[in-house]
Amino acid sequence: MKKFFAFAAFALLVTACSQQPEYKITGTVSDTNLNGNYVYLYPYGPDAVPTDSILVENGSFAFSGVQDVPQLYTIRFAEGVVEKQRVGTGEVAPYTALLTLDNSKLSVELSETPSVKGNPENDAYYALQTALKQLRADSKQIFEDARSENKEIVAAAEKRYEEMEEATNAKIKEFLYTHADKQIAAKLFSDFRYSLEENERREIVAKASEAFKSVPGIDKMIEHLEILEKVAIGKKFTDFEMAGLDGKMHKLSEYVGNGKVVLIDFWASWCPPCRADMPHLVSLYKEYKGKDFEIVGISLDRAEDAWKKGLEDLHMTWPQLSDLQYWKNAGAALYGVNSIPHTVLVDKDGTIVAKSLRGEKLEAKLAELLK
């Protein structure tokens, strides 16, 4: 009898040891027209190839397997099966799931508003998705109100919209700061990078785990932050050489760091927001030109004729430099410029004092520096 019990205990131990942890994904698809199509499990990232696929039958599907370490994946249909729809920044596309895959039991719903449940990381991410969708729905109503001819209604709508933007950004930041060790937060970080201040991006990267940093694209963002660190507020300007309108090479230091407050303006003739800003810059230049103020334009144009016509049409009379290399402009690369218009304000001794100032904020800063 003792031998029997010993054998039974040994058999149970062997069985337990052979049962490896595994993930189990049970999924539903809300659109019955998608029955008979395959859904695919992809590692997150460009040029990824699926690691598994399964046919959708009776509105459901299932995946199972072993995941050694948590990793970001997507579940989606083949290209063209689901009609593409434009979604807001950071939102998951319809009938697509973004998820952190680990050895958990996960529940996935593929619908117009996808969801994933089953581990704390996915639960938190999709709770955030729900909150963002509600904020955007409220924003849509605000836009409708802003079309009113009643000025008071429009003013109130604009104020509510600003509050909504602040609320959205606050939720994003809270998630990023509290999940900086998670890959799914890295995806959100990439999506909302232009909504975050430079110092906020640095703080998040400083808190980030190696798993966060391993997500495709994050390495490029970190490299960009390293470039921005060299031209951060409080640092001396970075010099470079580029051709002027006269065809000769000119150094930025010919204009900057020589006793004048200088606005370095990255722009292009093909950029509508840049063109919209120019009347204000022209006005400021007329007001402050004789008061130790200069503007240096760095154009991201690629055609000399278009560049010169833009200068003429917009009445830009300050010094201009360009290598006509479009987004590969060497000066823009040194200053980490990835969107225009972009301004860098430098004081009289060549120290960067402000960046990305436009409109009234730029006017106020110039008044402060040139009083």
Please give the chain's pLDDT, 371 residues, in tens: 445 455 545 444 444 445 678 999 999 999 999 999 999 999 999 889 999 999 999 999 999 999 999 999 999 999 999 998 888 888 899 999 999 999 999 999 999 999 999 999 999 999 999 888 887 777 666 666 666 667 777 777 777 777 877 888 888 999 999 999 999 999 999 999 888 888 899 999 999 999 999 999 999 999 999 999 999 999 999 999 999 999 999 999 999 999 999 999 999 999 999 999 999 999 999 999 889 999 999 999 999 999 999 999 999 999 999 999 999 999 999 999 989 999 999 999 999 999 999 888 999 999 999 88
**What is the secondary structure of 2-52 as a DSSP string?**
HHHHHHHHHHHHHHHHH----EEEEEEES-GGGTT-EEEEEESSTT---SE
- Residues 6+ away with beta carbon under 8 Å from 234: 351, 352
What's the CA gap between 311 and 240, in Å, rounded?
A: 22
- pLDDT given at position 141: 67
Cα distances from 256 to residues 244, 252, 294, 347, in angstroms, run 15, 6, 9, 8
Query: Could you give the CA distance from residue 201 to residue 195 in angstroms, rounded to a whole number?
Result: 10
pLDDT of 165 reads 78
Rounded to whole angstroms, how far apart are CA atoms 125 and 123? Answer: 6
- Please, what is the angle between helix 183-191 and helix 120-146, to 10°? 20
Best CA proximity match to 201, nearest among 229, 233, 243: 229
Which pair of structure tokens corresponds to residue 222? 């970190």
- Domain over 241-369 is classified CATH 3.30.360.10: no
Spatial neighbors of 263 by CB under 8 A, at least 6 apart, are 281, 293, 294, 295, 296, 343, 344, 345, 346, 362, 366
Quote the tokens at residue 200. Answer: 């906020």
CA atoms within 13 A on the CB side of 359: 3
Evaluate whether the domain defined by 20-116 bears CATH number 2.60.40.10: yes
Number of other residues whose CB lies within 10 A of the CB of residue 32: 10
297: part of which helix (H) or strand (E)? strand 293-299
pLDDT of residue 153: 72
Report the SS3 class of residue 104. Answer: coil
Domain boundaries, the chain: 20-116, 122-230, 241-369
